Chains A and B, each alone.
Chain A
């Protein structure tokens, strides 16, 4: 029994030893999976989902990482298959300029209003 246990542990350690050096890959994989939308779930990421689709995507992401693909390339691959909707981080393209820039514009606008209110001729009260 003890020998069996040792064998199991050895087997597991060998099997999982490559994970230690691939810790960075794990972190990367989690990061990518959290950024992919599970298309058959309502508002969950692939990371959070246990659905069929999610497990297929997880396998594919695994393989792509092993093939040496970078994060952006993996997103590009998925976008080609499924459209922009599948990635949670909206790209900066002609569709999303307003999305990214409008809050910043509003911030500057607010700043201008405050500037007007506080830096006035009557700077002393």
Chain B
């Protein structure tokens, strides 16, 4: 209970401190000191402390199952294991907003500490713009989503948390995702600050690149964790469903990747400045937009938060105020550069980065339009349509082909003007890729032409980057690793798609099911009682064509608060393939319905995303050594 009070008043103090901090900073802005007033730094730190205190208070309330707190009551239960009580703190709307505030305040404080060599006015303005966002979120929390609402009389027991959210991957997915997602706020604020100071320059881009990389790495890993969770928990072996909430995390990632590439240009030439600012604004806007779409109830999805139009209206207005503010500043302050430097020679690295942006914006438009179009159609003509995976696949897959090809050639171009080095080796690599692909695909699938081209393009990128790694060209190793990771990702996804097989059947205990020289044997079941669920564990033996037997133990869990029945798949992962078995009760029968899938190269999908992040991390730490 005390924790409730402390948490609540910390938030109020944080809000008041925001306003005070703005005042102090504005005064410092106009002062003649070369350095920022130390008070500004201390106040920013204090603000962070208030948010941390508030966040910890909520965690404490969850740990103690303090049901006088409405959020804890709605989302927890005494029988929940401790780890999930804690992670339940941010697994709900109100708590996740505290996480937003935490990252917002943390990042601005870190920014202030880490930017001591930057111009003073720029730093203060960044702080001010970030405070606008922070104040907005404080108001949002205190006015519509207070995590510290008081319940009286105090209930004895909570309403529990959805059991499919009780998973380790899902527990850490929000914090990591938010570090990326919310971290783009710094890029937003600092871009606006830099625009007002006419500071969009090489020096600025070298400084902001670290933040772009940091957000990008966390966002990439955050999205990966979400996919891993979906693979292990939701659906039947899928890991990406083009669900609105997934799309909403992908969109900032696309613009952030585009921005990352533009910063590379800006580091060297004072060009593309307007576009960099627009991308910075757009990235954070998309994050906010995502928050709106997911929390307002306007979209229909497996993992939307609470549906509350009142909250939706607040975020909508807040979002558009931010957009208006940022666009206003951009149009008012931004000075266009010397026109000449804005044109590039057509065969140069600058151009290939432009092409990267071109494709990224296209992919972004596909995802954005696919996600929000149903809303528009519904409002305008009261027709409801669904936009699902077929739409995204049809529009994205064909464009991946040129995209992969450009990715292979682009990095080999020199800045400003270039011939393609080693044309011969490129062509040879290309021919090898095509032949290899043709040979592989011929035996596998009917959709010959399309898959051949797409896989060839992916192999082309694969081999060109692999070659760079082998001949030890270390000057751009972070980029090579990242591009290599991307090629591996596409290849893994494609081969996984083509080679996956699935058996769905009903089977009784003791039965054997044979197919294709393999055999599934349903040995027995065991019942087990855990702290908050009963489980039926099934023992299956699967014999493959070589006679090797593996054991898989899918589970059916019956949770008690709230009463939900879930199926837990058992997955055996090897480097070569995943074997995936999930089981469901068939109503009223002694039969169980099982789905057995063999999914080749699944783990390579995760490995390749880790490689992507590794490339990013290498770039992040690179400059320090070169100093």
Contact = CB atoms under 8 A, between A and B. Distances in A.
Chains A and B touch (C-beta atoms under 8 A apart)? yes
A89 B515 CA distance: 32
Interface in B421-450: none
B301 A95 contact: no
A111 B362 CA distance: 10
B82 interface: no
B493 interface: no
B385 A47 contact: no
Contacts of B344: 117-118
Interface residues of B, number: 56
Given A99-B369, A106-B362, A90 B514 contact: no
B373 A43 contact: no
A104 B238 CA distance: 28
A83 B358 contact: no
A9 B304 contact: no
Interface in A78-109: 83-90, 95-96, 98-100, 102-104, 106-107
A118 B390 contact: no
B311 to A, nearest CB: 18
Given A16-B513, A95-B385, A48 B361 contact: no
Given A16-B505, A114-B351, A43 B243 contact: yes
A25 B567 CA distance: 26
Interface residues of A, number: 50
Interface string A6-26: 001100110010011000001
A86 B383 contact: no
Given A12-B511, A111-B358, A119-B346, A43 B302 contact: yes
A99 B362 contact: no
Contacts of B243: 43
DSSP class of A's interface residues: helix, strand, loop or mixed?
helix
B236 A110 contact: no
Nearest to A58: B504
B385 A110 contact: no
A9 B407 CA distance: 54
B366 interface: yes
B416 interface: yes
B388 A12 contact: no
B386 A118 contact: no
Contacts of B386: 37, 84-88, 90
B387 A106 contact: no
Contact of B235 (A37, A48, A119, A124): A48
Contacts of A50: 567, 584
Nearest to A34: B389
B625 to A, nearest CB: 32
Contact of A96 (B385, B388, B502, B513): B385
A14 B301 CA distance: 41
Contacts of B502: 26, 30
Contacts of A85: 384-386
Given A42-B300, A48-B236, A118-B346, A103 B369 contact: yes
8 contacts: A12-B512, A19-B515, A35-B388, A83-B384, A107-B365, A111-B358, A114-B351, A117-B343
> Which 10 interchain pairs have the tightest Cβ spacing?
A88-B388, A89-B390, A43-B301, A118-B346, A85-B384, A43-B302, A107-B362, A103-B365, A48-B235, A110-B358
